[in-house]
Amino acid sequence: MQSDTLLHVANFSTLFMCMVLKFPQIFVLMRAKSASGVSLHSLLLELIGFIVFVTYQMYYDYPPPTYLEYPILIAQDVILLLLILHYNGSLRQSLIYAFLFVGGWRLLTVEKWIIDLAMSFCTFISAASKFAQLQCLWRSKDAAQVSAITWAMATYTCFARIYTTMVTTGDTQVLVRFAVMTLLNLWVMLTVIYYQRASRSKKRD
């Protein structure tokens, strides 16, 4: 009974948090009217990882509460992508990205081996997205337009998904993915906080 309650709390808190997870980052970009410090490559890789992951879960008929937040996250990432392209002056590229993402998503379910192979690379793709964001921060040393709140919520949701996966499907690939994502999201969050504090210290000096 207690484990059922914990599972429901983990599922619904994750779903609720993911409904607003990207909002802080979206608002920061809209207020600054700049995408400085936010990695386009990181966002594109994250989108690929999300699409592969949710398609894998749906293909194998996993319980919807274990992946329901991903369509919401994908929609928020699309808004972020459009904002970054807009502020970078390359909004026309959005049509190319839309064609590639929709075409790739359709390709995933053509054969079982394709979705299995894609899922085996999913953790590496998602990890690469975090390293792309870290590299962008290390290079620019500017986290003013990066939301630490978004990365904190991402850390929590991945941590919660470790528990829900263990209780429901026990899928090893999924567990490894969430464990790696939890650590990398935490790393990005701490890096953002570090550069934001360093920037505030310089302004005071």
- CA-based torsion, 93, 35, 136, 133: positive or negative: negative
How far, in Å, CA of 203 to CA of 201, rounded? 5
- What pLDDT score does 122 carry? 87
pLDDT digits (tens, 9 = 90+) for 56-96: 989 998 888 778 888 999 999 999 999 999 999 888 898 99
Please tell me the pTM assigned to this model.
0.86
What is the number of structural domains in the chain? 1
**203 lies in some domain:** no
**Which residues span the domain enclosing 24?**
1-197
**205 lies in some domain:** no
pLDDT digits (tens, 9 = 90+) for 98-136: 999 989 888 998 889 999 999 889 889 999 999 999 999
Burial of 139 (0-12, 13-18, 19+ CB in 10 A): exposed
How far, in Å, CA of 133 to CA of 82, rounded? 17
Q: Is residue 204 pLDDT above 80, yes or no?
A: no
**5 lies in some domain:** yes
**45 lies in some domain:** yes
